[in-house]
Amino acid sequence: MSAKHQDPFAQAREDMVREQLESRGIRDPRVLDAMRRVPREHFLSGSAARSPRHVYADGALPVGRGQTLSQPFMVAGMTEALEPEPHHRVLEIGTGTGYQTAILAEIVDQVWTVEVDEVLAEGAREILGELGYDNVHFHVGDGSLGWPDGAPYDGIIVTAGAPSLPPPLVAQLAPHGRLVIPVGPRHLQELLLVWKEDGEVRTRTLLECRFVPLVGEEGWQSPTA
Ligand code: SAH
């Protein structure tokens, strides 16, 4: 038996990829490899991090400060929708635990990530540093305005729900870029794929989803009201 299979987390991770991702149609080998490599258990704390079954469960997990770690299938599906390539620069809005950031950092050249909550941002920066990711740029601030410093981006991924499509994000998207963002009412959104074609902005709905609110100038006024 290889060392990998003696590690219950590695085993649970393999099972997650097979049962939750491959079986539901995630095909991009880069995405599947990244999901096989990133140890989700490091992005949780306390007792939540101790059970392989809990860590790799087929759902979102509460991580404190009113936020959640997205379901593995959602992380993989949103990443696949970006069609990420090794030379890409990707902007992520909503660093949260940093798990999605790590998946992106496994695949693309540079990740630019913005988090509004300073405590979460610090936690993510620490764990991503410990895991050795050196291609991530962190910013604490209102990501509904994007992050012009790294623009234009080949991909933009928003992991919080917006009331409408924030114009700055569209502006910071490269002409060939792809933007994935949940848009809609507070408790149920549509996951939109947004791209530019012949000078126009096109959108396609991928699925229904439920994310915590994107707050800020181009988001909701407050987390609850
Ligand atoms: N991708 C994360 C999950 C994010 S939950 C993960 O893998 O763990 C959504 C995150 O978006 C929360 O951390 C929340 O604080 C953040 N957020 C909400 N509004 C934001 C804004 N305007 N700018 C940046 N981050 C924001």
Question: 96-108, pLDDT tens digit by residue?
Answer: 999 999 999 999 9
- For the domain made up of 3-209, the CATH class stated in words is alpha beta
| Substitution site in 35, 117, 144 for ligand 1 pocket (most atoms within 8 Å of beta carbon) | 117
pLDDT category at 48 given cuts 50, 70, 90 is confident
Cβ of 114 closer than 6 Å to ligand 1, yes or no, is: yes
**Which amino acid is present at 200?**
E
SS3 138: strand
- Name the token pair of 148: 């012009």
Which residue bears the tokens 């409408």? 164
Task: Provide, rounded to the nearest whole percent, the portion of the chain with pLDDT above 90.
Answer: 91
Count of helices and strands (H, E) across the chain: 8, 9
pLDDT given at position 134:
98
136's enclosing H/E stretch is strand 136-140
| Residue 93 in contact with ligand 1 by CB distance below 6 A | yes
Q: Where do the structural domains in the chain lie, given as residue ranges? A: 3-209
Closest CA to 213 of 140, 163, 153: 163
Q: Give the span between the Cα atoms of 181 and 94, in whole angstroms.
A: 11
The answer to whether the CB of 182 is under 6 A from ligand 1 is: no
